Amino acid sequence: MFGRFFSSLVLLISGAALGYFWAQSQELQVTFYLVVGSLVGAMLWWFLDAIRGLRVVYWLRYGNLAEVPNTFGLWGTVVDRTRRLLREREKAINASEQRLKDFLSAIQASPNGVVLLDENFQIEWCNQTAAFQLGIEPERDLAQRIGNLVRDPIFSAYMTTSDVAEPIVIEGRGKNPNMPLRISIQRHPHGEGKQLLITRDVTVVEQAEAMRRDFVANVSHEIRTPLTVLAGFVETLQTLKLTAQEQDKYLDLMANQSHRMQSLVDDLLTLSRLEGSPVPGFTSSLELTQLMEACQSEAQQLSKLLFQEKIAQVIVFETDPVIQNHLVLGEPRELQSALSNLVSNAVRYTPQGGRIEVHAFVSKDGNLNLQVKDTGPGVPPEHLPRLTERFYRVDRSRSRESGGTGLGLAIVKHVMQRHGGQLQIASTAGQGSCFNLVFPATRCKQAEAV
């Protein structure tokens, strides 16, 4: 302000002085030219000031922050202050834009779908997950009414109701017959009539729930059957006068049924132990020959029991000489249970006179194979993919007659997964089956090497 006052004063005095000296040199009236000179000085100051002011106004209107007009004094201060204010505003805008970007990219990364709707249910924004689940094209469908894009009647009804506490579940749009998609949608009204939709893929949850229901139904069914038979026999023994011979027969049948229940409960406990315990490490192990011998004697006993004869089936166990003194690294009880389940299946399903071969060898890729081959009825190809499901049986009565629980192969598959290996199944209906336990090379070591 002082500069402004000082500069105008300088020009005013300079103009007056020039007028004075010029009037004196020309011998004119001094007072008149003194006033004219000071007026000219004032106008010159005003003119120069107006030019500087106009440059600042032009810059404010059209200029950019990087090219500021080179000026000083009051206009210089105006320019500086304005530039600082604009810089601060620009920074604040950049920061809030960045925050918005971060926020949107976090919502993009969310496993849940998010759709923002305006008060007319028109799409304002949606993330990729919601777009995939609801079949929306995020850019093309912007400002479209969601009801025109998602035509499921359950969804339409949900969008009109005021009761939005419970989510709804509809078929997802990305569905194809091999990959069904179930989507849960919850509506959250917010602001003035705006809506937030949260979508979630609940396919796996629903499948798990269905599996849990099936499992409970299967277990109840499996237990109810022998229980009903047992109850019937108990009633018979209580009400009828039976001879000692008849009583023995009934007690034998009852023992059979309780045996069946026992096996089922044992297998269920094994499965739950497998699901609940940590993955087996490499510190515990089982001698391969010991494993083979134990399963061989089990197989022979079971074969005798089933066929009530001395030689019902030919059972051959063979371990390749190179791995005779090897150990299988893993949980001994689980390893024993895996091979013994396969061997017992082979014995149970192979008819009298059939042949069962169990062969332990290391394949070319270094993996340890425990292969169980039989000449039984085999499994038709359409059943093969489902054999390891819990309670899945090709021939229900055959399985039950021979004391099967329907859980054996599920246990084997689980054990193999826990040991980093796999169960391979090859079978031809009418010709026999080959079940192969394949362990990674790291699970098989020479006895001294451990």
CB of 170 to ligand ADP, least distance (A): 36
Q: How far is the CB of 103 from ligand ADP (least distance, A)?
A: 51
CB of 303 to ligand ADP, least distance (A): 13
Q: Does 302 bind ligand ADP (CB under 6 A)?
A: no
Interface residue with ligand ADP among 37, 280, 354, 408 (CB under 6 A) is 408
Strand partners, 357: 316, 373
Smallest gap, in angstroms, from Cβ of residue 335 to ligand ADP?
Answer: 17
Minimum distance, C-beta of residue 388 to ligand ADP, in the bound complex (Å): 7
Which of these segments, 126-134, 178-186, 305-313, 372-380, binds ligand ADP (CB under 6 A)? 372-380
Our finding on whether 371 is near ligand ADP (CB under 6 A) is no
Compute the chain's Rg from CA coordinates.
45
Measured between alpha carbons, how far is 68 from 170 in angstroms, rounded to an integer? Answer: 60
421: nearest Cα among 430, 429, 412: 412
Figure out which of the listed residues 202, 358, 370, 394 binds ligand ADP, where binding follows CB under 6 A.
394
Find the angle CA(390)-CA(260)-CA(392) to the nearest 5 degrees. 20
Q: Does residue number 404 form part of the binding site for ligand ADP (CB under 6 A)?
A: yes
CA 62 to chain centre: 53
Write out the H or E segment, with its range, that includes residue 85: helix 73-109
For residue 438, state whether it binds ligand ADP (rule: CB under 6 A).
no
Q: Rule CB under 6 A: which of 410-429 touch ligand ADP?
A: 410
The residue type found at 80 is D
Residue 285's DSSP bridge partners are 329
- C-beta separation of 341 from 383 below 8 A: no
Residue 295 interacts with ligand ADP (CB under 6 A)?
A: no
Rounded-to-integer distance, Cα 374 and Cα 392, Å: 20
Q: How many residues bind ligand ADP (CB under 6 A)?
A: 22
**Tokens 């237990």 belong to residue:** 223
Q: At what angle do helices 2-26 and 73-109 cross, to 10 degrees?
A: 150
Decide: helix, strand or coil at residue 162: coil
CB of 345 to ligand ADP, least distance (A): 3
Q: Please pick, from the candidates 313, 340, 433, 436, the single residue that binds ligand ADP as defined by CB under 6 A.
A: 433
Return the residue of 395, 420, 422, 429 that touches ligand ADP, per CB under 6 A.
395
Stretch that binds ligand ADP, among 121-129, 139-147, 285-293, 375-383 (CB under 6 A): 375-383
Phi/psi of residue 310, nearest 5 degrees: -70, -50
- Locus of tokens 């094994």: 270
Residues of span 310-369 touching ligand ADP by CB under 6 A = 341, 345-346, 349
Identity of residue 104: L
Nearer to ligand ADP, 373 or 419 (CB): 373
Which of 143, 156, 152, 209 minimizes the C-alpha distance to 187?
A: 156
Q: Which is nearer to ligand ADP, 323 or 346 (CB)?
A: 346
Candidates 292, 399, 419, 421: give the one binding ligand ADP (CB under 6 A): 399
Q: Which amino acid appears at position 447 of this protein?
A: A
Cβ 112 to ligand ADP, closest distance in Å?
38
The yes or no reply on residue 436 touching ligand ADP (CB under 6 A) is no
CB nearer to ligand ADP: give 49 or 395. 395
Which one of 19, 37, 330, 377 is in contact with ligand ADP (CB under 6 A)?
377
Q: How far is the CB of 402 from ligand ADP (least distance, A)?
A: 7
Question: CB 97: neighbour CB atoms within 10 A?
Answer: 10
Q: CB-wise, 187 or 390, nearer to ligand ADP?
A: 390
Q: Which of 114, 254, 387, 415 binds ligand ADP (CB under 6 A)?
A: 387
- Rounded distance between C-alpha atoms, residue 427 and residue 24, angstroms: 130
C-alpha closest to that of 132 among 175, 179, 188: 175
Q: For ligand ADP, give the closer residue by CB, 129 or 399.
A: 399
Report the nearest approach of ligand ADP to the CB of residue 415 (Å).
13
- State how far the Cα of 52 lies from the Cα of 62, in Å rounded to an integer: 15
Contact between 379 and ligand ADP per CB under 6 A: yes
Examine residue 393 and tell whether it contacts ligand ADP (CB under 6 A). Answer: yes
d(CA 178, CA 211): 18
Contacting range for ligand ADP; rule: CB under 6 A; set: 11-19, 203-211, 270-278, 374-382: 374-382
Between residues 184 and 345, which has the closer beta carbon with respect to ligand ADP? 345
Contact by Cβ (8 Å): 31, 18 = no
Residue 344 contacts residue 412 (beta carbons within 8 Å): no
- Tell how many helices (H) and how many strands (E) occur in the chain: 12, 13
Is residue 406 a contact point for ligand ADP (CB under 6 A)? yes
Q: What is the binding site for ligand ADP (CB under 6 A)?
A: 341, 345-346, 349, 374, 376-377, 379, 387, 392-395, 399, 404-410, 433
